[in-house]
Amino acid sequence: MKKWLVSAGACVLVLAGCGDGSEQETENEGMQVTVSFSILADFAEQVVGDRGTVEYLVPIGEEPHEYEPVPSDFQKVSDADVFYVNGLDLEEWLSGLVQNVGDVPIVELTEGIEPVPLEGEDGADPHAWLSPELAHVYIENLVEDLVERDPEGEEEYRENADAYLEELEELHEWTVEETDQVQEENRYIVMSENAFKYFGRSYNFETDGVWEINSHEEGTPGQINRLVDLVEEQQIPALFVESTIDQRYMETVSDNSGVEIYGEVYTDALGTEGSGAETYIDMMRHNVETIVSGLTQ
């Protein structure tokens, strides 16, 4: 657990002698942070706290692989002090955006995470945030970058990050305990997009989907039949659907395999207001509870 906490010993108080400089900063508009999608917005807000504002581009309910930026997105990015993205090829639409936003620094928050390759395709899977075991890397990258850009806020950023890293550690330990209930032969997570690979690597689950990644979404009869065969062969007890994806593909898999869709999970966006999944931690608690109860029924 200790290694997840940002070392307090590394905290150099550059504010020393400046009195209440931090209060002056918050009277101004503070740091303007823009991120690519809603889950990164929650991470950034946790660290930025009262020292600035956080905006995100891809609206909740849409998935971040194939997004078409609207005019206000260009504004949000060009007005920002920094633009945080996931990286690992998630934001495939990024190149068209960044040519038109000036020289805003773009920082990838998955730096340091060992990529899981896509199956049968070139490239890395981007869904590292879906493993609570890896979420701390996003926060560590955020805090180091924010401290570099806004050194006067160092103490505040590190305090915010340390508090949140403790919550993430609790989420990880809880996830280990919960997932321990699932029998070895039932440790298989199946939904439309094969998005739980990092989660599977952390908590020992096999994963599969109608397709590998949403940007290559097809849902062809061949893809559906392959998944139906797998569900039958592996005797998978429950299927899941994502909040951001047309559910008809998994309904076909369910109809053809006779295995029920147990519930909805959040993969590429936070939940909408009132969903109980409006934050990363609540979203992952919902996901783990849904997956564990589906696979232990």
Angle between helices 154-179 and 38-48 (to 10 degrees): 130
- Looking at 132, 196, 268, 271, which residue binds Zn ion (CB under 5 A)? 268
Beta carbon of residue 36, minimum distance to Zn ion (angstroms, whole number): 12
- Which residue number, 186 or 214, has a Cβ lying nearer to Zn ion? 214
Contacts of Zn ion in 204-233 (CB under 5 A) = 214
Task: Give me the residues paired with residue 242 across strands.
Answer: 265
- Nearest CB to Zn ion, comparing residues 186 and 267: 267
- Decide whether 243 or 257 has the Cβ nearer to Zn ion: 243
Stretch that binds Zn ion, among 2-10, 37-45, 202-210, 266-274 (CB under 5 A): 266-274
Dihedral sign from CA coordinates of 51, 53, 56, 61: positive
Provide the greatest CA pair distance for the chain. Answer: 70
**Candidates 45-53, 117-125, 144-152, 194-202; binding stretch for Zn ion (CB under 5 A):** 194-202
How many residues are recorded in the chain? 297
How far, in Å, CA of 193 to CA of 219, rounded? 10
Helix (H, G, I), strand (E, B) or coil at 242: strand
Only one of the segments 134-142, 165-173, 195-203, 257-265 lies at the binding site for Zn ion (rule: CB under 5 A); that segment is 195-203
- 211 vs 262, beta carbon nearer Zn ion: 211
Closest CA to 239 of 220, 218, 261: 261
Distance CA 89, CA 39 (A): 16
Among 19-27, 44-52, 128-136, 260-268, which window interacts with Zn ion (CB under 5 A)? Answer: 260-268
Q: Which is nearer to Zn ion, 73 or 268 (CB)?
A: 268
CB of 154 to Zn ion, least distance (A): 34
Restricting to residues 167-186, which ones interact with Zn ion according to CB under 5 A?
none
Q: Which residue is nearest to Zn ion (CB)?
A: 268
Q: In this chain, which stretch among 130-138, 147-155, 258-266, 267-275 interacts with Zn ion, using CB under 5 A? A: 267-275
Whole-number Å distance between alpha carbons of 195 and 124: 12
Structure-block tokens of residue 113: 């995470």
Measured between alpha carbons, how far is 88 from 100 in angstroms, rounded to an integer?
22
* Cβ closest to Zn ion, residue 89 vs residue 144: 89
CA–CA distance, 271 with 283 (Å, rounded to integer): 7
Give me the least distance between CB of 248 and Zn ion, in Å please.
Answer: 18
Structure tokens at 154: 């160092």
Applying CB under 5 A, the site for Zn ion has a residue count of 3
CA distance 191 to 262: 11
- Footprint of Zn ion (CB under 5 A): 195, 214, 268
